Chains A and B, each alone.
Chain A
């Protein structure tokens, strides 16, 4: 579904990602771990095609199509969706309208919003004055409306209260398992690339593969639960060693 080859990315003239390679198979979920500032959000933004992120080397393939230089909206049309960590405020544009256009008029925003207890937010300007957890839920509603094939979720559980996390987790689960996408596998074909620090979201979704990003470089790859256990017990210092082991 998604294949990243030797990707080097600059932000504001500074190299943030260095020779990153990873892949997400159709119908599978990959998890991205890594310390603050290691480049996780940068990677998702680059896959989405946002302007500040300059690919200086490497390739991004989506369903075998090279999308490295494709405009953002065309990537979205191909089925890439991003829940961003820090989305901008859209003053004067309300949540109702953006949900409506994200789904090309196909979903009923009221109905969708009720799933995440967000009915009262539909008339509010997108992200303006939203709390941390509200931003996550609003992003998820927009993604649900958009119904992509690849869900890129940047810390979906972060800032979400214990009661809402159940709703968010269930919704993420349902979104990823429902519907059909072009893919090689027989199953749904929906895929996800998920960033998490706590791993809480892994209670709701089945993750097949984990990567650790350190300092702009992938240093480990393995079973996400085991990686998380290692990070919990030994911290991220291990990822440097992990890299050494892999290289030897």
Chain B
């Protein structure tokens, strides 16, 4: 339960110097906040081409076709917000907090304001973000798209999102995070609090597409109630300076399910510290964490934690990494933690290069070594994200081509 506002402010202020638990430490003073100078648009079709292109690269279609709603946040401003479905609402979190008094019980509840300096700064900043609520019993067919973009160089962006999927509702959200073409250095802080109620389901796909010098510090908490399902897909393929994220899903109702799929390529110079944690605290809950990562010169750390606190739970963690080329670091840190008997918790992890016998097998069908490696790498990543939208698959293919993964 969040405490009263003054106390939260106090706690956040005290945490402004607190380093994150993992990953490079960023000095918030290096970046300035930018907002206010960005025009507002009424429909995706009005957006300038460079913004449309940036959205496309992050799996978000800049159109009202094929989706049930769109929100675009640039820096700390909401510049587009439209939806055309009565199964859910999509609004600026700041408006939502004013409109709904009950929302304060959800705000800064799944993520602590004083977790580290990034949560603290986001809290103190009166940050924008999306509030998405799928109404009880409604099945929203088409995905809702959100795009969070950094528009100015040397800026710090703070975003606070809340998603509530009410009892029996289901919804899919595609969230792309990116930066404008003239942005090189920036810091993104994004707090997401996700609540999946009884018998509800949420499929949440996030694609990150940043630039060479951008630091990224998402902080995500998820609470899943009885028989609720939460599926999380995370994809990062392009250049970035440092991403450190460790979303935690708490399964608090009987039979709740969480699945985390991660697909990552660590480009040269990148630090990717990617984790997923599921705490199974009610009977018969299920969790699965699957990650597929490749380093082509950067460093990637795959953390995964499963905590079993109730009986008859089932949880599995599968973490596979490839090292392509001569440099690069790939680390797998799977962790299982059982607090009761009657649990079934397993993990598999493996690291290495592309298997030579597989490459030769494909070559024996007439493909060059590069083509064969490309095919295997694509397959390797594909296993991490079965069921992902086709547009995003195309982006993955593009990244494989561009990364020159094949020549390893």
List chain A positions with a Cβ less than 8 A from chain B: 48-51, 71-73, 75-77, 81-82, 84, 87-93, 97-98, 101-102, 104, 125, 142, 145-146
Binds A, one of B225-233, B333-341, B371-379: B371-379
List B contacts of A49 (CB < 8 A): 364
The answer to whether residues A76 and B383 also contact, given A88-B358, A93-B376 and a CB cut-off of 8 A, is no
Q: Which residue of chain B lies nearest to A101 when distances are taken between CB atoms in the complex?
A: B367
Q: Are B383 and A91 in contact (CB under 8 A)?
A: yes
Q: Are B362 and A90 in contact (CB under 8 A)?
A: yes
23 residue pairs of the A-B complex, CB under 8 angstroms, read A50-B360, A51-B356, A72-B364, A73-B367, A73-B369, A76-B364, A76-B366, A84-B364, A90-B358, A90-B376, A91-B383, A92-B378, A92-B382, A97-B375, A98-B365, A98-B375, A101-B365, A101-B366, A102-B365, A104-B366, A142-B365, A146-B365, A146-B366
List B contacts of A146 (CB < 8 A): 365-366
Q: Residue-by-residue, is B367-408 near A (CB-CB < 8 Å gives 1, otherwise 0)?
A: 111011001101111110000000000000000000000000
Q: Are A71 and B380 in contact (CB under 8 A)?
A: no
B47 within 8 A of A: no
Q: Are B379 and A91 in contact (CB under 8 A)?
A: yes
Most chain A CB neighbours (cut-off 10 Å) among B362, B369, B375, B381: B362
Q: How far is the CB of A140 from chain B (nearest CB, A)?
A: 13
Q: Are B361 and A76 in contact (CB under 8 A)?
A: no
In the bound assembly, the distance between CA atoms of A93 and B369 in angstroms comes to 16
In the bound assembly, the distance between CA atoms of A76 and B368 in angstroms comes to 10
Name A72's contact: one of B358, B360, B375, B376 (CB within 8 Å). Answer: B360
Name B363's contact: one of A76, A87, A142 (CB within 8 Å). Answer: A76
* Number of CB contacts from chain A to chain B under 8 A: 73
B355 within 8 A of A: yes
In the bound assembly, the distance between CA atoms of A114 and B376 in angstroms comes to 26
In the bound assembly, the distance between CA atoms of A145 and B358 in angstroms comes to 19
B7 within 8 A of A: no
In the bound assembly, the distance between CA atoms of A81 and B357 in angstroms comes to 16
List A contacts of B356 (CB < 8 A): 51
Q: Are A88 and B357 in contact (CB under 8 A)?
A: yes
Name A88's contact: one of B361, B366, B379 (CB within 8 Å). Answer: B361
List B contacts of A145 (CB < 8 A): 365
List A contacts of B364 (CB < 8 A): 48-50, 72-73, 75-76, 81-82, 84
Q: Are B366 and A90 in contact (CB under 8 A)?
A: no
The answer to whether residues A76 and B375 also contact, given A50-B360, A51-B360, A92-B382 and a CB cut-off of 8 A, is no
List A contacts of B376 (CB < 8 A): 90, 92-93
Q: Are B379 and A90 in contact (CB under 8 A)?
A: yes
Q: How far is the CB of B109 from chain A (nearest CB, A)?
A: 39
Query: What 16 new A-B contacts, CB under 8 Å, besides A90-B362, A93-B375, A101-B366?
Result: A50-B364, A51-B356, A51-B360, A72-B363, A73-B364, A76-B363, A76-B366, A88-B355, A88-B361, A90-B376, A90-B379, A91-B383, A92-B376, A92-B383, A101-B362, A125-B379
In the bound assembly, the distance between CA atoms of A142 and B371 in angstroms comes to 17
Q: How far is the CB of B156 from chain A (nearest CB, A)?
A: 38
List A contacts of B357 (CB < 8 A): 50, 88
Q: How far is the CB of B113 from chain A (nearest CB, A)?
A: 41
Most chain A CB neighbours (cut-off 10 Å) among B364, B367, B368, B379: B364
Q: How far is the CB of A107 from chain B (nearest CB, A)?
A: 12
Most chain A CB neighbours (cut-off 10 Å) among B363, B371, B382, B383: B363
Q: Which residue of chain A lies nearest to B377 when distances are taken between CB atoms in the complex?
A: A92
In the bound assembly, the distance between CA atoms of A102 and B365 in angstroms comes to 5
List B contacts of A50 (CB < 8 A): 357, 360, 364
In the bound assembly, the distance between CA atoms of A90 and B365 in angstroms comes to 14
List B contacts of A104 (CB < 8 A): 366
In the bound assembly, the distance between CA atoms of A102 and B383 in angstroms comes to 22
List A contacts of B380 (CB < 8 A): 91-92
In the bound assembly, the distance between CA atoms of A81 and B363 in angstroms comes to 11
The answer to whether residues A101 and B355 also contact, given A73-B367, A82-B364, A92-B380 and a CB cut-off of 8 A, is no
Most chain B CB neighbours (cut-off 10 Å) among A50, A93, A104: A93
Q: Which residue of chain A lies nearest to B365 when distances are taken between CB atoms in the complex?
A: A102
List A contacts of B358 (CB < 8 A): 88-90
List B contacts of A89 (CB < 8 A): 358
List B contacts of A81 (CB < 8 A): 364
List A contacts of B369 (CB < 8 A): 71, 73
In the bound assembly, the distance between CA atoms of A50 and B381 in angstroms comes to 26
Q: Are A71 and B363 in contact (CB under 8 A)?
A: yes
Q: How far is the CB of B364 from chain A (nearest CB, A)?
A: 5
In the bound assembly, the distance between CA atoms of A84 and B364 in angstroms comes to 10
List B contacts of A87 (CB < 8 A): 361
